């Protein structure tokens, strides 16, 4: 990962090319537009809080993705193993589609809370 902090017009190319460009609070407009993140307060404490928030958001998205994959695997196993164990279909294809849609739409409030939706 390459990060770059800058405040002047001469830093703009490096801010744009870095994976995360950070313009400090006293930066020129050119540097702020080239950077991926602009600090609003003096000092570099904003970088620490941004990294913490980014890691927390990534962890929540990863947890939600793994949960969704697990639910789909369980549904598929129920669809395959249900007839073997009971002798008839437990989930009809229509019921399975409704179940998949319902599980996906229940995630919308989670993404809205994260500010992703």
pLDDT digits 0-9 by tens, 23-82: 988 888 999 999 988 888 888 888 888 889 989 999 989 988 888 888 888 878 877 888
Residue ranges making up the domain that contains 91: 53-117
Domain count, the chain: 2
Has residue 65 been placed in a domain? Answer: yes
Residue 97 located in a structural domain: yes
Q: Is 48 part of a structural domain of the chain?
A: no
- Whether residue 15 is contained in a domain is answered as yes
d(CA 10, CA 23): 12
Please tell me whether residues 58 and 112 are part of one structural domain: yes
Return the DSSP state at 6.
Answer: E
pTM (global) more than 0.85: no
Q: Which two tokens stand for residue 96?
A: 């399975």
Residues 117, 86 share a domain? yes
The pLDDT assigned to 113 comes to 58
């Amino acid at each position: 990962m390459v990060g770059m902090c800058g405040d002047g017009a001469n830093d703009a190319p490096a801010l744009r090319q870095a994976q995360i460009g950070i313009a400090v609070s006293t930066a020129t407009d050119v540097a702020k537009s080239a950077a991926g993140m602009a600090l609003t307060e003096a000092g570099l404490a904003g970088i620490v809080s941004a990294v913490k928030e980014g890691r927390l958001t990534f962890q929540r998205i990863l947890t939600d993705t793994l949960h969704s994959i697990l639910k789909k695997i369980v549904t598929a196993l129920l669809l395959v193993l249900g007839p073997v164990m009971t002798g008839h279909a437990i989930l009809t294809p229509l019921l399975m589609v409704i179940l998949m849609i319902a599980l996906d739409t229940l995630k919308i409030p989670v993404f809205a809370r994260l500010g992703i939706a």
